[in-house]
Amino acid sequence: MKAIKWKGGDNDGVVIYLFADDTAIDVQSDKTVIGDPETLIISDCNSSNVTVVTGVTDPNDFWGWKYKHTSGSSLTANADFKGNANLNADINASATTIDVGNSNPFTTSGTVQIGNEKISYTGVSGTALTGATRGANSTTAASHTSGSHIEQV
């Protein structure tokens, strides 16, 4: 895989895009051009703020900003990343599986918040956060409706 990552500053090494090895990527002084012929122009990525690394291992749950690259072929978790999405289905106050539609924005375990409730979870499976402990961190378990915002804390 090829990764476009920020260079320098507070976000140094944060991977913002991941592409197949055979994708043409041309980082220019004012933009980055993807594809030959061009299929995408990224105007806020240029030779002064990004670099391209090749031979990166696909983490299979890539989501922009979720990973960092420091060297070699491995990506490591970006400790500053906080995933978010919307609930994909209603949940009651005792649900232990939280359907988010796309679990890639979330780390493999952690704590999320919906409204005033914090929920700890121990895993990710398909489109859901699993092993949920409701009312974590002294909050109160509650029902939430599909479309409610869920954010990693």
Distance CA 40, CA 32 (A): 8
Distance CA 17, CA 29 (A): 18
- Give the Å distances, CA to CA, from 94 to 101, 133, 135: 19, 9, 9
Tell me the mean pLDDT per 10 residues along the chain, length 153. Answer: 95 96 97 95 97 95 92 92 93 97 90 98 94 97 97 94
Structure tokens belonging to residue 109 = 């375990």
**Amino acid at residue number 97:** T
Distance CA 31, CA 28 (A): 5
Distance CA 84, CA 151 (A): 4
Predicted confidence at residue 106, as pLDDT, reads: 92
**Amino acid at residue number 35:** G
C-alpha dihedral sign at 84, 90, 96, 101: negative
Predicted confidence at residue 72, as pLDDT, reads: 93
Predicted confidence at residue 79, as pLDDT, reads: 86
